[in-house]
Amino acid sequence: MGRLEGKVAIITGANSGIGKATAERFALEGADLVLAARRLDKLKEVEAYAVAQGVRALSVATDVSQPEDCRRLVEAAVAAFDRIDILVNNAGIDDKNKSITNCDLELWEKVISTDQNSVYFMMKEVLPHMERADQGSIVNISSIGATRSNAGISYTAAKMAVIGMTKNVAIQYAGTGIRCNAVCPGPTETPIFSPENAAAFDKEFARACARHFDGSVPRTQPEDQANAILFFASDESKAVNGETLVVDYGGTI
Ligand code: NDP
């Protein structure tokens, strides 16, 4: 029997990288899936994989930076499955490692709305349904950029806020059936590190603040992050609440 048998999971950013690996892993563990991202065609590929594993799956085109989209996503999930057991807030963008002096307001607002506000929107929509069942596990994807404050200014701020919201929600529901934890991936081989994207990174600032960019510690694979997300999502972590788990080969100890 799979570790998530009988559970319904919403995963944002499920068509690429860590979110895709998590969706595929959750399908193998028996969860029914609600998959969200902006590119529906890419979501459908993950949906097809999940269905081929024998679970039910629904793809919903969603811009998580928009509160109405998040509301629509959760409504679609409840209409299809009548319950939400797991929420993985994974959708996110990088900020090209821009220091405060290089981060304009447009970039700041884009990163904060995608990486931070989305987590607030999604938890706010999902928690009433978890309350109804008095059970649920939320897994927010932060970053070692938060624990070390060594990414760009907007990404650091957003991912630090994710940890703060995670602990705050965990406090609110401590002792109930609802838990909220965060995973902090280290550098992971996903499209964020595609040559085109990496070329746009602010190398000077990166050198100043992070040895994980110099290649001396290996990048993880999306599956390494999916394993950690699965632990928080499953009942095996039922006594773990308000925690953050760094998954980065120890590169930031
Ligand atoms: P990818 O670029 O591979 O995936 C990002 C996902 O987020 C895509 O599915 C994308 O889909 C979705 N997304 C982006 N913007 C939006 C939006 N506005 N609305 C809905 N979905 C959106 O990145 P990773 O897998 O690497 O990253 C996943 C998470 O892990 C992010 O939160 C990232 O910050 C975090 N992380 C990653 C690290 C790494 O080294 N890779 C390190 C630390 C943290 P679409 O474009 O179709 O909307």
The domain spans of the chain are 8-245
- Ranking 29-38, 107-116, 213-222 by mean pLDDT, the lowest is 213-222
Higher-pLDDT residue of 212 and 18 is 18
The 10s digit of each residue's pLDDT in 53-90 is 999 999 999 999 999 999 999 999 999 999 999 999 99
Q: How many helices (H) and strands (E) does the chain have?
A: 10, 7
Mutate to test the pocket of ligand 1, among 59, 190, 194 (most ligand atoms within 8 A of CB): 190
pLDDT of the residue at 212: 55
pLDDT of the residue at 251: 79
Please determine, for residue 213, whether its predicted confidence score (pLDDT) is greater than 90.
no
Percent of the chain with pLDDT over 90: 84
pLDDT of the residue at 209: 63
CA angle 91, 96, 114 (to 5 degrees): 30
pLDDT of the residue at 204: 78
Please determine, for residue 9, whether its predicted confidence score (pLDDT) is greater than 70.
yes
Is 155 annotated in the active site? yes
CA distances from 154 to 33, 145, 147, 209, 214 (A): 30, 10, 14, 15, 21
Q: How confident is the model at residue 122 (pLDDT cuts 50, 70, 90)?
A: very high
Mean pLDDT of the chain: 94
pTM of the shown model: 0.94
pLDDT of the residue at 217: 79
Structure tokens, 63: 């811009």
Please determine, for residue 12, whether its predicted confidence score (pLDDT) is greater than 70.
yes
Domain 8-245 coded CATH 3.40.50.720:
yes
Instruction: Find, among 179, 92, 83, the residue nearest to 138 by Cα.
Output: 179
Please determine, for residue 234, whether its predicted confidence score (pLDDT) is greater than 90.
yes
Taking CB atoms and a 6 Å cutoff, what residues make up the pocket around ligand 1? 12-13, 15-19, 37-39, 42, 62-65, 90-93, 114, 141, 143, 185, 187-188, 190-192
Highest mean pLDDT: which of 122-126, 212-216, 245-249? 122-126
Atom number in ligand 1 closest to CA 38: 48
